[in-house]
Structure formats: structure tokens, C-alpha cells
Structure 1
Amino acid sequence: MATGETGFDDVSFDLISVQYHSLKAGHDYGQYVRDAKNAGRDDIASFFEKIMAEDSARAKQCHEFLAQLSGSSESGPALT
């Protein structure tokens, strides 16, 4: 796999990007849940909790893929 300016192969970089954005979104959704609950909108709070759980699962899957790539010749010099 080709490595870019970062030293990471494209797939590893993409996984790291998705993981970061999923974790960041999950952090933000916590505030959205509180806002919805404070507004008395438990239905909307439940929606935010659902997407927060989905992003958490997405971040976990990225972590597992990155662990598989870590140290492999596919990962590029930044992960080997």
C-alpha cells in the first residue's frame, strides 16, 4: 500500500479518520442528549443516544481493524 505524507497507508489513515470523527461526534452527542432531556424531549434524547451508540460501535470497529494492521507490512512505517 502506498503511504502519503503522513507515513500512514491510505486505509490506516481512513480508519483513524473515521475513528476520530466517531469519537468526537459521540462526545458532542452527549451534550445533545442533555439538551433534549432538559427540553423535555425524551424521544429526541433517545435518538441522540442511539446515534451515539452507533458511533461508539463504529469507533470500536476501527480500533479493531487498526490493531490488525498494526505491525503488518500493509500499515506503512507509522504503524510498524
Structure 2
Amino acid sequence: MATGETGFDDVTFDLISVQYHSLKAGHDYGQYVRDARNAGKEDIATFFEKVMAEDSARAKQCHEFLRQLGGGTDNTSPQG
């Protein structure tokens, strides 16, 4: 497996990146839901909740893939 500039293999780095961005976005979407509800836009709040759930599922899938990659070797730590 190729190792990128971070010291992590590329696939592990990519999964961590997607997981991070999905979790970060999920945090931000909570505010978007509140904003939409405060504006009386329940349909938009529902849309943001759907997007938040999709990102949550995406982060969980990344976590599962990372767990699988860590199976016989430790691909979740920087490589020497």
C-alpha cells in the first residue's frame, strides 16, 4: 500500500478524512436545523436532519472500514 506524506497509507488517510468531515458537518447541521426551525421552515429543517443522518451513516461506515483495515496489521497508526 502506498504511504502518503502523512505517514498513513492512502486508503486509511482517505477514510479518516471522510469520517472527520462527515462528523464535522453533522455538528454544523445541528445549527442549520435550529436556524430553519427558528425561521418556521420545517421542510428545510427536515432536509437538514436527513443530510445529518446521511453524514452520520457515512462516518459509521468509515469507522467500520477502519476497524477492518486494522484487522491483522495496524493501518491506523503512522507507518515508519
TM-score (structure 1 length as normaliser):
0.89
The question of whether the paired residues in 2 share the 8 Å contact of 1:33 and 1:48 is answered with yes
Structure 1 pair 47/76, CA: closer, same or farther in 2 (3 Å)? closer
CA distance in 2, matches of 1:47, 1:27: 15
The question of whether the paired residues in 2 share the 8 Å contact of 1:23 and 1:56 is answered with yes
- Counting aligned pairs with the same residue, the percent is 80
How many matched pairs?
79
The question of whether the paired residues in 2 share the 8 Å contact of 1:36 and 1:44 is answered with yes
Q: Unmatched 5+ residue regions in structure 1?
A: none
The question of whether the paired residues in 2 share the 8 Å contact of 1:3 and 1:76 is answered with no
Q: Unmatched 5+ residue regions in structure 2?
A: none
1:29 paired residue number = 29
Instruction: State the 4+ residue runs in structure 1 displaced beyond 3 angstroms.
Output: 71-74
